[in-house]
Amino acid sequence: MFKIATLAAHTPRIRVGIGGWNYAEWRGGVFYPAGLPQAQELHYASRALTGLEVNATFYSTQQPATYARWRDETPEGFVFAVKAHRLATQRKTLAEGAEAVVHFLESGVTELRDRLGPIVWQLPPFRRFDADDVECFLALLPDAVDGLPLRHVLEPRHASFACADYVRLARSYGVATVYTDSPDYPNIADPTADFVYARLMRSQPGEATGYPPRALDQWAARVRRWQQGALPAGLPLVDPATAPAHTAPREVFVQFIAAAKARNPAAATGLIERLASA
């Protein structure tokens, strides 16, 4: 069982989590204590970690009461990142997703209230960068719904997005771009919003902590740099000519996703401990 660690209170926050919380291989002492009822897994995970990414919302529409229950089961200060429903982005053109964007945002997600973090709009791997189409989509994303401010993140999965035109377009709308740390998708480290969102996808089954300890040390240093408003070392930029060397401090969201999924809670708690000891 992992030692539960929390980050020292500060602004802006660094939030570290995993994708989802119901996964059989995390039970029996791997992450969840042996014998912990499944109904208590969110309660446990939201106190062991400082954030979670909800993936179920990508596949099916949740009820407002479900979002409210998630809100009530988590402690004050905890934040969910929520993946928007795939119908909003799995279209012939992104501009066709207007109705699905509205439907998702009005389906009850605002019931999370202060627990609502960034909304992640994941694009399919076949979606090439088309400046006009992407701009039409970004223009669909509202700044608020039901009086609740929204923050948006785009996750491109085609290499054509790794270009200066995309970076400048996303920056003009204040939409963050996922840094994937993935061998399969573009790794765009250029900050395009006033917060940073990373989905780390290289956990290894043979590593007890998912990522090797030295790699977690390196990620802790990068995350601190992002938080300070600086650019992290070792992550080349797509458009270095327009990237400010330093900005105001930023909130940072880090999710350990996919790859060796059973190891992701260990990677997340390992990163939290490193950040807390800084």
Inform me whether the pLDDT recorded for 123 exceeds 50. yes
For residue 163, pLDDT beyond 50: yes
Task: Note the pLDDT tens digit of each residue in 1-40.
Answer: 333 333 344 458 999 999 999 999 999 999 999 999 999 9
Give domain 14-276's CATH architecture: Alpha-Beta Barrel (3.20)
Percentage of the chain modeled with pLDDT above 90: 89
For β-strands 144-145 and 148-149, DSSP reports them as: antiparallel
**Residue 243 φ/ψ, nearest 5 degrees:** -85, 120
pLDDT, residue 246, reads 85
Mean pLDDT score, 50-58: 96
pLDDT in tens, 78-91: 999 999 999 999 99
**Angstrom distances, CA of residue 206 to CA of 26, 37, 189:** 16, 28, 27
Q: Count CB-CB contacts under 10 A for residue 155.
A: 21
Q: What is the pTM of this model?
A: 0.94
Question: Other CB atoms closer than 10 Å to residue 8's CB: what's the count?
Answer: 10
**Whole-number Å distance between alpha carbons of 100 and 25:** 33
Average pLDDT of the chain to the nearest whole number? 93
List the single range of 4-13, 179-188, 228-237 with lowest mean pLDDT: 4-13
Residue 79 burial by Cβ neighbours in a 10 Å radius (0-12, 13-18, 19+): buried
Q: 51: which residues sit within 8 A by CB, 6+ positions away?
A: 15, 16, 17, 78, 79, 80, 81, 117, 253, 254, 255
- pLDDT for the residue numbered 11: 58
Is the pLDDT confidence value at 133 over 70? yes
Work out the burial of residue 144: count CB atoms within 10 Å of its CB; fewer than 13 is exposed, 13-18 middle, 19 or more buried. Answer: exposed
Region 189-202: mean pLDDT is: 96
Alpha-carbon gap, residue 238 to 240, rounded angstroms: 6
